[in-house]
Amino acid sequence: MTDSQITAGLRALELEFGKEIVKHAVAAVQKFRVEVPGWVFGRFGGGRFGDYTPPGAARTIYEKLDDAAFIHRLTGATETVAMHILWDFSKDGVVGDLKIAEEVARAAEERGVRMGSVSPTYFLKGSHRGSLSSDDPAVRERYIEQTILGGQIAKDLGTRLLTLWFPDGSLYPGQIQLRRAFANLEESLQKAHRRIDPDVTVLIEYKLFEPGTYSTTVSDWGSAYVLASRLGENAGVLVDLGHHPHGKNIEQIVAYLIHSGIKGGFHFNTRYAADDDQAVEPNPEMARIFYELVQGEVILNDTPSKNWAYMIDQCSGRENRMHAVLHSVDSLQLSLAKALLVNGARLRDYQQKDEIILANRMFNAALLNADVRPIVAAARLDRNLPADPLDAYMKSGYREKIETERK
């Protein structure tokens, strides 16, 4: 967008939605921060197409940090990087190593970013019969220890956020005892939790299927909620957009969780089929999710403890990863801007008068039809950031550099 397109676009938005609302949206986009996953930059692919990974994939955690730092330089919005213990702090992919985590945290800071959420990796070697839900006490013990280590790393080196996702589940009815699996998982989690500093927030992620096809042990927000609410005040639920059945109203889950007062977090991505982990698109569903987050005052709240944790979780096999992350950040900023354009007072008035279609049209005027690109561009330019980070990336020479160096 040229400067004059931005100015004209802002004027049009001010005419439709009001000057103050537009000003507020620009300020909010400037403040919004989202975490990027370390794994998106690496060789984590789908195991298809002869193990194709897009050119320029990072070979080490240090190269992942280089890429994350470059994204942050262009967007000013992504200062923390999510880490996985066995991908990023392990020599053998079986046990985590605190010393490596310390080096990684230092390396992140040298590059102008920080270690963000920490995830124990429950899904590598030896977890095919479950991790914390396993019937084998030795397996459970190994993952309890890794969870405790994750808590320590999160507290001492990260953002005090521990994010847990379990691959536990089954392929066929009868394969495992559903209730025992959940009970094992809960008991193991409680054991680990007792040894985690209460200053660390523990978010539990759920997923309908994969790798389990018949059952996953933590399959929906209800099961995650049960686990989290029994752990205590520092625990909550992590919503990943791709982890639901089709047609699920995800913004309503967000509303329930906010109403419950439990801690929350979001893993952003786009899904068409299931857990596709594609880059975030600025679609109406994303804008509606942001509307709930804004209304629920869990985003950009002046009291930081009220805010949910916002993370991107993507890693699709075919796309250029740097483009994909820049696209996601852009889409999230657009979705936030749209959510802020809804005039709450007018909407409530329509709701009270039972003006169903008028309420919906008003909602859609902001969440579906408004072109908020000028808001996002203005927010960036005010911070001396490029108006279009993806365009700036293409002109930066970084792509050519990494694709040559990392052959």
Q: Which is nearer to ligand PSV, 78 or 216 (CB)?
A: 216
Pairing of strands 161-164, 169-170: unpaired
Does residue 266 touch ligand PSV according to CB under 6 A? no
Binding mask 370-389 for ligand PSV (x = CB under 6 A): --------------------
Which one of ligand PSV, Mn ion, none interacts with residue 119, CB within 5 to 8 A by kind?
A: ligand PSV
How far apart (Å, rounded) are the C-alpha atoms in residues 22 and 343? Answer: 11
Does residue 165 touch ligand PSV according to CB under 6 A? yes
As measured in angstroms, the least distance from the Cβ of 271 to ligand PSV is 11
- Which of 313, 336, 376, 380 is in the footprint of ligand PSV by CB under 6 A? 313
As measured in angstroms, the least distance from the Cβ of 164 to ligand PSV is 8
Does residue 17 touch ligand PSV according to CB under 6 A? no
Q: Which is nearer to ligand PSV, 166 or 363 (CB)?
A: 166
Q: Which is nearer to ligand PSV, 263 or 373 (CB)?
A: 263
Q: Which is nearer to ligand PSV, 270 or 379 (CB)?
A: 270
The sheet that has 80-84: what strands, in order across it?
36-37, 80-84, 114-119, 161-164, 201-205, 235-240, 263-268, 309-312
C-alpha 231, offset from chain centre:
22
Does residue 275 touch ligand PSV according to CB under 6 A? yes
Question: Which residues of the chain form contacts with Mn ion (CB under 5 A)?
Answer: 240, 267, 313
Does residue 168 touch ligand PSV according to CB under 6 A? no
As measured in angstroms, the least distance from the Cβ of 98 to ligand PSV is 20
Q: Which is nearer to Mn ion, 111 or 267 (CB)?
A: 267
- Which of 75, 80, 117, 119 is in the footprint of ligand PSV by CB under 6 A? 119
Which one of Mn ion, ligand PSV, none interacts with residue 97, CB within 5 to 8 A by kind?
A: none
Does residue 267 touch ligand PSV according to CB under 6 A? yes
Contacts with ligand PSV: how many residues (CB under 6 A)?
9
Q: Give phi and psi for 239, each to the nearest 5.
A: -100, 120
Residue 19, CB-side half-sphere exposure with 13 Å CA sphere: 0
Does residue 393 touch ligand PSV according to CB under 6 A? no
Which one of Mn ion, ligand PSV, none interacts with residue 275, CB within 5 to 8 A by kind?
A: ligand PSV
Does residue 240 touch ligand PSV according to CB under 6 A? yes
As measured in angstroms, the least distance from the Cβ of 275 to ligand PSV is 5
How far apart (Å, rounded) are the C-alpha atoms in residues 378 and 27? Answer: 9
Does residue 35 touch ligand PSV according to CB under 6 A? no
- Which of 88, 205, 292, 330 is in the footprint of ligand PSV by CB under 6 A? 205
Q: Which is nearer to ligand PSV, 163 or 372 (CB)?
A: 163
| Interacting residues toward ligand PSV by CB under 6 A | 39, 119, 165, 205, 207, 240, 267, 275, 313
